[in-house]
Structure formats: structure tokens, C-alpha cells
Structure 1
Amino acid sequence: MTYISESHLKASETRQNISDDPVRGQKGFVLRTTPNGVFNFYYQFLNKNRLHPETSKPVREWHLIGEHPDWTIARARAEATRLAGLVAQGKSLTAVRNQLQTLARSTGRTFEQMHDAYLDYCTEPVLRRWGTVARKESHENIRSLLSRPLAWWASRVTSEITGQEIMELYRSFVAEGHPAQANGVLTCLRTMFTWAMHPDRAFVTSNPVPTLRGDDRATEVSDIEDGLVLSADQLRTLWYGLDDPKCPGRRLTKLVYKLSLVTLLRTGECVAIRRADIAADTVTIPLAITKGRRSPKARDVVQPLNSLAREILGEVFSIGDPNREYAFPKSRGGRKSRSEAQTNKPYMEQRSLNILSRASSDTRDQIGIAEYLGLPPELTPHDLRRTSACILEQLGYSDAEIGRVMTHKTKDKDAAAVTRKHYLVPVKIIEREIADPRVKALNDLDAALREILGLPTTGTKELPPPSKQLAAA
């Protein structure tokens, strides 16, 4: 080997690699010469952690240091020595150098720039199985969750934002009594910073958002309570109260609550029902609306319609244009929210259903339905779905059967854990005694055997009276 010096900086007839003397110089330091007079410095070594797939021998890695004359021999040799030290410490040169490049690119890039780039990424149209939609269909919720972080850190250099500052933001939501929103903002920030670490974006080199567990995490109401379920009296109050002309809200809005109660469909699915998707005994919710579309085997939800559901839909289409496309169209006039202006959905916005739990102390001038009817102020549209699920359980249906009615998807078609955990609350709603489900099963078996054996299906024989001997005993 030759000690690399200025005498080697001359064009060669072919490309040549000149290795530095490991005694006088640095082992692994290489000068590459070319016929056109370009001279590059490299550091190369055998990576024992990477084996060739065919020979099973360590792979030789080459890392470009730089080109002469930007890099002098002395400076390049010093860099090769530094890289050799990293290798001796067991570090990945590729990872270290990528991190340094990312850090250099991230310097000076603000949180606002990262925020805007991330929202552009979220709203970018992509083709899914259910059509062309935004990459993240929840982008409006993401925008809302990031509004306070943006107000706090818009002009801050992204790489300078610390975990302590993020926790200060987190505690500001908790102090206002919004633990669920605090946890949502933290999750959204963690996702965005992870996205920003990609080498092609290079806003940051690490994710400063802490992962909270146990007592460090703000406790949400859903973590400590099973959820609200209406009693029989409360259910009657709601059902007939919604028919009161003085009850707050549009009639179509109030019919959404009733339809969700009798079909167990989510209110977000109810508002998107199209007239063309309503059959005599079923309603179809398109894949683009249903939550189950995340599953590779997801299909449109086809929900049976009972008599109450058919009556409600009949009233729905008796209001306004009976030939309209959507059962619950967006209201005309009034001030549109930012979400409505950007999503441009032709049907009712789900957030308009918040009138159920709106309080009179709200800045808006309209009292909420729950407060008007004297129902629990924390009542939400989803509690109606929970109430119906509990009624089904008290009628003797299994978790698996209730889960299928609620369209909770599972691979083995058994009960989804979420059905029991979040919906089936031990609150008695039905006052009368419910027949043992085994009675119905055995009666169904009776009917099937009669059909198979050709036995008459009408009339029942009374059991013979006990014999005198048996009665005396």
C-alpha cells in the first residue's frame, strides 16, 4: 500500500483505487483517480453485520467523503479516521450520515412550513377501492387538532421544538377539562413528526413527542365510565320529546337520532343514506362511508329495516323534495363552517347533530335537545346506539349477534371486543321478564323436526295427568 500524497493527484489511463498505508496513514482511506482528472476520496471497510446473500461473506461498503480540491488529502484522511471510529463503535455509517444530512436540511425550516406540507400530503387525492378521495379522509379533524400547535409555534424552527414544550401544550388542554382532545393532539403531533422525519422531507431528525402511559396520560371519560345508556323512562322522554314542535333542531336532524336508535347504524352513516340505496326491507351504506372499508375484504353495509325504520324513512321523504338524492340533505342558507366549505358534502354534516348535547351556556343562542327534555347533558348521538345494543343483550342475543347488527367487523366473525367493552352496559332497560333464549331455540328445533318428519304443525297435546299412584306418592 502507498501513503497517499499530492504526487498521486494525476490523471490515470484507467480508473484506479489507491489505498492509504494503514501504518503511516488511515486504513480504509482510498483515493480514486479517473482518466478525465476527477479525484474522489472514499472510506471503505468490511461490514461484518451485512453478509452477501450468495457467498455469506461480509459486504464491503464504500462511503464517499468528497472530491478534490474541495477536500484536501489531509482533511479527507481526518474524515476517514472519524468514520473508522464510528465503525469501531458499532454504528451504522449510512444512518449517521443520513441523520447529518437531514439535520443540515432541517435547519431554519419552521413549524408552519412542516404543518402546511403535512396538510398538503393529507389532502392529496389518491385512488382507493371506493373512489378518489383525500389521502387522509380525516384531514379536517387533523387540521382542527393542529390549530393550537400552529398558533403556538408557527414561526419556530421545527427542529428546536422540545418535548417539554409539547407537554406544556398538552397540559393546556387538560387544564381546560379536555383530556380527550389533549390525547388526540398528542397523537396527531406524533404522527406528523414521524412523517416529517422521512429523508425526502427532512424537517426533523428525531421525534420530540413523548409517549405517555399510565398516570402520565390524562384520563378520558371513556376510560373510567362504561358510557351513557338511557333508561326506559328516558327513552320515552327522548322519543316523544323529539316530536315536540318546540324541541330544538330541524325535524330532519331529530329523525336522524330516531333512525340510528332503531337501526343501530352510526349517525355518520344515517346522514349519508341515498334514496337509491333504500330497498323494501334493507338500506345499503356505500363502502366510501362505512368504517369497515379499512379491511381488505370490506363491502358495503346492507342493514335490514324494521317497521320503525321504514316509518321513519317514510316521514323523512315526506319533508321537502320527495325525489331528492339524499334522505338528509345539507340545509340551505346560513353560515357554512370551514369544514362544510372544504368538504362540500351533499348531505347533512355530522357535526350538526351536536345540538343533542348543546348547553344553554354555549355561545350559540339555541338550547340543546338533552337540556330541553331534561335528559343527562352528556348525552351523545352514539349513546343511542349503545342503548339499543343493551336492549338486544337483554333480549337474549349474544355478543357476536349484537356485534354483527352493529357492523363490528372481525376476521373470525365472532364478537368484536369493542362490542362488549364499549356498548354492553349493565343497565336494566326492559322491565318485563325476558324469555329464556333456549326456549326459542328448542321451539325452532320443534318446527324443523315437524317439517322433516311430516308431522302436523297445529295443535298441542296436553300432558296426561299424573297417575293416582304417582299422586299418592
Structure 2
Amino acid sequence: MPVFITDKHLKAEASTKTYSDGGPKGQKGFVLRATPKGAFTFYYQYLNKKTGKRDWEKIGDNLEWSTARARAEAGRLAGLVSLDKDIREVRAQQCTEQRAMGTSFRRVHDDYIAYCSELVDRKWGRVPRKETWANIQSALKRPLEWWGDKVVSEITPMDVKKLYDSVVAEGYPAQANNMRGQIGTLFNWAMHEERQYVAKNPVVKQLEDDKVLEKADIEDGRVMDIEELRRFWFGLDDPDCPGSRLSKLALKLSLVTLLRTGECVKIERELVGPSHVTIPLKHVKSRKAKKARPVVQPLNSLARDILGEVFSIGKADRDYAFPGARTRRAKPMSQQSLGQLMSRTTEHANGYMGICEYLCLEDVTPHDLRRTGATILSELGYTDAEIGRVMTHKTADDDAAPVTRERYIVSKRVLTMKPVIDRRVDMLNHLDMVLREELGLPVAQALAVPLKRLAA
């Protein structure tokens, strides 16, 4: 029995069902077919006068056609039939014309990369609109290879899924998820009213069963225990350990300062002081916050020792503490190179051994050094807010955001014995120092050992 087809009919059925459009507002010949797997396809059914048989012309599926738009298309096809037109020939001709006039994915890709890399004025300088545009371009490399000359409006959710599955099948779920997200962002940009390359984004929300779990989804963070920490620290001093001495010192510096490795490698020589180091706003992760400012990080004795060795290697008057290699010497070392140095194995294509493989450490990343340091501070009794301040977690309104415990504080003991910390000792020592300095009192002397009482 004919029914007026609406979106409520777009639901999975126990068996394949076919709905014919009816009612006062219905379109004769407009048909919806629903399958148990949740596929919904619109058709136009008509009498072919040449063959005398009933033919089915596929309009499209619900991912590309709304119910109202599909009904309107069925009405247009009915008009062609009334004029004795061959609707299949007409539609094929229209498709050819649209393809000839359509914009290719390559054109949209090139325009998008040009938009991302265009220099704009920010409060930290004149920089590309998206400073990671080179990473975006790299993530879109395979889509460009697959769809370069394809009309961008013809790319479907199934095309995206096939591409996504091909990267997952190679064992790279993280790259697949990143690529999928970048494709979605590109299509959102292309849909903007100023461009209107496409009318719909083919990157749809994934079903839970289709999602690929990454290690990050299973394990919240890696923290080294004290034995692993010793192996890491002294292993980096081994001359046979992979990597340059500067690269290994950059990893050590991240551990003792809790700075991100991306901040460590961009330390400028002129901004290193005797007791602190300044990271310019252009290198700070939170620089887009309203009250963002350069990071001024205190240097403990280990950090001072490390930086002292750093500037004893190579040219002491260089711009960056950790210059890039070969043709990048005028630029800082790349953060990605440190991650690759730790994770690569002899099983990879290049066959080079990495630090983790050499030191027999399982899956330690540069960012895990921050997690290890944060966990140690937590064991020492410091609050999440204090740890967040040291880790330079900035917010728009506050001086620092509390550390995200689920991400950084891992429930794993690092220290073999938990020290007893009394915050009052630090506070009173600080008060003592200030009073002596302001009042001109002599430096504190060690307390004399009291004499034992003589026996009566």
C-alpha cells in the first residue's frame, strides 16, 4: 500500500522493504528500498514505452540525497518520461557535462593548502594561517593520490571508508584517523559559503564497530619506574646509544624541566639565563589563549649542567641550543626527529635502531618523560595545581591550569621510597631568607648540637 515517504521510514527493517510514495503530496513512481543492514536507496519506477516493461532508475542513497530532494528528482524524471525522453540517456549526458565542469579534488586540495600556508599576522609574528600546514599536506598525500582527478562532489562516504581501511590494513590506525579528520576539515572548508565547492561532507560519523582502537585509547600513558629511569638516563651517556649527543641531551632536558620536547629544541641561546630559560610566545603551545605569554621556566642544577654541556658542543654562538642537522642548522632541531629516534627499530624500512630498542625499553615516547616527571612530583606530595604550573598548562583566565590527572598522573610507583614533605618547612625557609635579606641579618648558621646533660 502506498505511503507518503518521510525520514521516519529510514530505519533498519528485519527484511528488505519497498515503500511506494503516495498521498496527496506524494510523487507517483517514487520508491524507497530499505534493507536489514540499514541501506536506504531512492528509485524512480516507470513504464518504459520502448520495451513495454517497468524499469527502475536509481536516484541515489540517503547519504547523498535527502527524502525531499529525491522526491523532487523523481518528479523531474516523471516529466522527462511524459515527453518520451530516455531518462537514462538524459541523466548520463548531464553527468558528463557536470564532470566536465566539475572541480577536481586536486584543485580543492591545492586551494586549501594555499589557504593554510598563507602568511597572516598573529600577536607572536607573521606566520602561516595554519602553522602545521606541512603536516596537513602530508596527511592528505594519499587522498590526493587516490582522488586527484576525481570530481570532488562525487566523492562518497564509501570512498572515504575504503581509503581509511587501506591505511588501517597497513597497520597505521593513528595515521588513518588523522587522515580522516583532515579530509573532514578540508570538506568543511570547501563547503563554506565563500567557496561552495561542495554541498555535503562525505566524512560522516563512524559507527562504534568501525572505529579502530589506538594504543592511546587503551593505555592512558607510559611512566618509567626507577629502574627504567636509571637505564634511560645512563644509557643515553653510552656512546653506542643511537642518536647525536645533542638529541639525547634534549630528551634529558625535557625530563628535568618538564618542558615539552617541542619547546626544548626551540630554546634560543640569548634567552638562556643563569637560573631560568624563556620560551618565546611563538613557540608556546597555548599562544592562542587570550592571556598567553612567553614561558619562563626555572632551571634546576641538572638542567644547568645539561645546558652547559649543550653549549660546549658545536658553535657556542649559534642561535638555537639544539640546531637542526645538515641543511637545517639555521633552524632548530625538529620535535618529530626525537620521537622517531626513540621509536624506530631495525625492523623498520630504514633498518636503523632506536633508543628504546637499544636500551630494551618498551614504547617510551618523548612525552612520557613529562608523565614520569609529573608522577614523581605527585609522589612528592605536590598538588595538581602546582604540577600544572610547572608543566606550563595555561588557560585564558588563570595563571595555570591544574594538571590533567587522567593524562599525566599515572597510577604507577616511580620512587622506591616516598619522601615525607612538609610544605611548612619550605614556606618558613622562604620567610627566613626574605627577612634576612630585607633586614640585613647575617646568613643563617647551622644549629649547634646541644651538650648532653651531665649525670647528677
TM-score normalised by length of structure 2: 0.71
Q: Equivalents in 1 of 2:256, 2:355: separation in Å?
A: 19
Secondary structure of the residue aligned to 2:281 is coil
Residue 317 of structure 2 corresponds to 323
What whole-Å deviation, never above 9, does each CA across 1:134-166 have from its counterpart, x for those lacking one? 110010110111011111111110000001111
Residue 358 of structure 1 corresponds to 344
Distance 1:106 1:283, change over 3 A: farther
Offset at residue 440 of structure 1 (A): 3.8
* Structure 1 contact 266–382 (Cα < 8 Å) conserved: yes
Residue 221 of structure 1 corresponds to 215
Q: Equivalents in 1 of 2:449, 2:251: separation in Å?
A: 47
Distance 1:352 1:162, change over 3 A: same
Amino acid at match of 1:290: V
Q: Equivalents in 1 of 2:257, 2:234: separation in Å?
A: 18
Offset at residue 374 of structure 1 (A): 1.1
Offset at residue 199 of structure 1 (A): 2.9
Amino acid at match of 2:310: V
* Structure 1 contact 274–327 (Cα < 8 Å) conserved: yes
Which of 232, 246, 250 is the equivalent residue of 1:238? Answer: 232
Q: Which stretches in structure 2 are left out of the alignment for 5+ residues?
A: 1-67, 73-96, 451-456
Residue 159 of structure 1 corresponds to 153
Amino acid at match of 2:367: H
Distance 1:320 1:220, change over 3 A: same
Residue 292 of structure 1 corresponds to 286
Secondary structure of the residue aligned to 1:168 is helix
Residue 75 of structure 1 corresponds to none
Q: Equivalents in 1 of 2:125, 2:114: separation in Å?
A: 19
Secondary structure of the residue aligned to 2:374 is helix
Amino acid at match of 1:263: T
Q: Equivalents in 2 of 1:329, 1:446: separation in Å?
A: 42
Amino acid at match of 1:283: V
Q: Equivalents in 2 of 1:317, 1:229: separation in Å?
A: 30
Amino acid at match of 1:370: C
Decide which moves more: 357-366 or 145-154.
357-366
* Structure 1 contact 106–202 (Cα < 8 Å) conserved: no
What whole-Å deviation, never above 9, does each CA across 1:297-354 have from its counterpart, x for those lacking one? 1101111111100100000000011111111111126xxxxxx7xxx96111222211
* Structure 1 contact 355–368 (Cα < 8 Å) conserved: yes
Amino acid at match of 1:218: V
* Structure 2 contact 385–402 (Cα < 8 Å) conserved: no
Distance 1:369 1:442, change over 3 A: closer
Residue 410 of structure 1 corresponds to 395
Offset at residue 107 of structure 1 (A): 4.9
Mapping 1:27-426, distance limit 5 Å: 107-212=101-206, 214-332=208-326, 346-353=331-338, 354-376=340-362, 378-411=363-396, 413=398, 416=401, 419-426=404-411
Q: Equivalents in 2 of 1:255, 1:160: separation in Å?
A: 51
* Structure 2 contact 389–402 (Cα < 8 Å) conserved: no
Distance 1:409 1:415, change over 3 A: closer
Secondary structure of the residue aligned to 1:291 is coil
* Structure 2 contact 278–295 (Cα < 8 Å) conserved: yes
Amino acid at match of 1:410: T
Q: Which protein shows a greater Rg? A: 1
Residue 23 of structure 1 corresponds to none
Residue 80 of structure 1 corresponds to none
Which consecutive segments of 4 or more residues in structure 1 shift more than 3 A?
103-107, 213-216, 411-418, 436-448, 456-462
Amino acid at match of 1:219: L
Aligned alpha-carbon RMSD (Å): 3.1
Amino acid at match of 2:133: H
TM-score normalised by length of structure 1: 0.68
Q: Equivalents in 2 of 1:176, 1:394: separation in Å?
A: 41
Offset at residue 174 of structure 1 (A): 2.3
Residue 74 of structure 1 corresponds to none
Q: Which stretches in structure 1 are left out of the alignment for 5+ residues?
A: 1-84, 90-102, 334-339, 463-473
Kindly, what percent of the aligned residue pairs are identical? 51
What whole-Å deviation, never above 9, does each CA across 1:214-267 have from its counterpart, x for those lacking one? 444322211221211111111111111111111111111111100101011111
Q: Equivalents in 2 of 1:291, 1:446: separation in Å?
A: 34
* Structure 1 contact 179–220 (Cα < 8 Å) conserved: yes
Offset at residue 414 of structure 1 (A): 7.8
Q: Equivalents in 2 of 1:345, 1:162: separation in Å?
A: 45
Secondary structure of the residue aligned to 2:212 is coil
Q: Equivalents in 1 of 2:202, 2:251: separation in Å?
A: 42
Decide which moves more: 209-218 or 378-387.
209-218
